[in-house]
A = this chain, B = another copy of it.
Amino acid sequence: MSVPLPAPLTDLNRLCVHTITTKPWPLERAADEYARAGVRGISVWRDTLLGRDITREGELLRAHGLTVVSLCRGGFFAHADEAGRREAHYDNRLAIDQAAALGAPLVVLVCGALPGQPLGRSRDQIRRGIEDLLPHAEQNQVRLAIEPLHPMYADSRSAINTLAQANDLAIAIGSASVGVAVDVYHLWWDPDLQIQILRAGQADKLFAFHVCDWKTPTEDLLLDRGIPGEGCIEIRRIRGWVEQAGFHGFNEVEIFSKRHWEGDQTAYLERIVQAYRGHV
């Protein structure tokens, strides 16, 4: 099942950047800079909304010509007790409210895990957590994307670690409002990636596509992601699979990097735009 490598992206119409990528910038500065650099989409991390009038922030982003692609992030459904799960439920309702106010059509879910709690139990809690949230999401016309996380986060961040699992879960829940987010950083190693991307597309579950790169060596499990081209992921090939599966939404650049956050963010954003043309 060989898919030809897609042509390079010659325009930026589908380039989205996550605010976490340029973490030092407040949302308003990110909006200015992204617009100036030609970025067309923005995925908003909730930390940037603290103390803001969210509806007005959404208007501001659109006034900059930016499409709000998603709100990051909800989830963390796994907890040892009912009180923790209830708290997560209300925080996730809040995320949906924030997405609706911002005009973001999608909330990305990092599903959660608890060190020492069996993965199977966390997975049950995740499914129940999403199902409990569903009426509020549907009512607000906000979709939910289950993002499988790299297996190195199975201890404390997500018990959903392959696209097969995320697909299984989204399909089992059976709502048009629940799908998956494919992030190359988490999934590039998976021998079943291509087939599971196709499956997600055929089931109308392919809601989002995130890119960055895996550096060799990776010096920090969390904060050492690379700009596309800095690492070993065949990002363009995976984009080809995603497009073959029928996805033509934004290519979202989501990079956590202590190293890049320490440098000049404008120059860094410029590098990201070049990398997008050269490697995505």
Q: Which residues of A contact B (CB under 8 A)?
A: 115-116, 118-119, 123, 150-152, 154-156, 161-162, 165, 188-191, 214, 216-218, 221, 231-232, 234, 237
Contact A190 B151 (CB under 8 A): yes
Contact B221 A218 (CB under 8 A): yes
CB < 8 Å neighbour of A218 from B152, B161, B190: B152
Contact A152 B155 (CB under 8 A): no
Contact A231 B155 (CB under 8 A): yes
CB < 8 Å neighbour of A151 from B150, B155, B216, B217: B150
Contact A116 B155 (CB under 8 A): no
Known interface pairs A217-B221, A218-B221, A221-B218. Does A189 touch B119 (Cβ–Cβ under 8 Å)?
Answer: yes
A-B contact pairs, 26 of them (CB 8 A): A115-B216, A115-B231, A115-B232, A119-B191, A123-B191, A150-B151, A150-B152, A151-B152, A151-B189, A151-B190, A152-B152, A152-B218, A152-B221, A154-B188, A154-B189, A155-B214, A155-B216, A155-B218, A155-B231, A155-B232, A156-B217, A161-B189, A161-B190, A162-B191, A165-B191, A221-B221
Chain B residues with CB below 8 A from A118, complex form:
234, 237
Closest residue on chain B to residue A158 by CB atoms:
B189
Shortest beta-carbon distance, A255 to chain B, in Å? 17
Q: Give Cα A161–Cα B187 distance, bound, in whole angstroms.
A: 12
Closest residue on chain B to residue A154 by CB atoms:
B189
Chain B residues with CB below 8 A from A151, complex form:
150-152, 189-190
Q: Give Cα A261–Cα B125 distance, bound, in whole angstroms.
A: 38
Shortest beta-carbon distance, A1 to chain B, in Å? 12
Chain B residues with CB below 8 A from A119, complex form:
189, 191
Shortest beta-carbon distance, A76 to chain B, in Å? 15
Closest residue on chain B to residue A214 by CB atoms:
B155
Contact A116 B232 (CB under 8 A): yes
Chain B residues with CB below 8 A from A231, complex form:
115, 155
Q: Give Cα A218–Cα B220 distance, bound, in whole angstroms.
A: 9
Q: Give Cα A162–Cα B161 distance, bound, in whole angstroms.
A: 12
Shortest beta-carbon distance, A243 to chain B, in Å? 19
Shortest beta-carbon distance, A63 to chain B, in Å? 41
In the complex, the 6 A-B pairs of residues with the closest C-beta atoms, listed nearest first: A154-B189, A115-B232, A115-B216, A151-B189, A152-B152, A155-B216
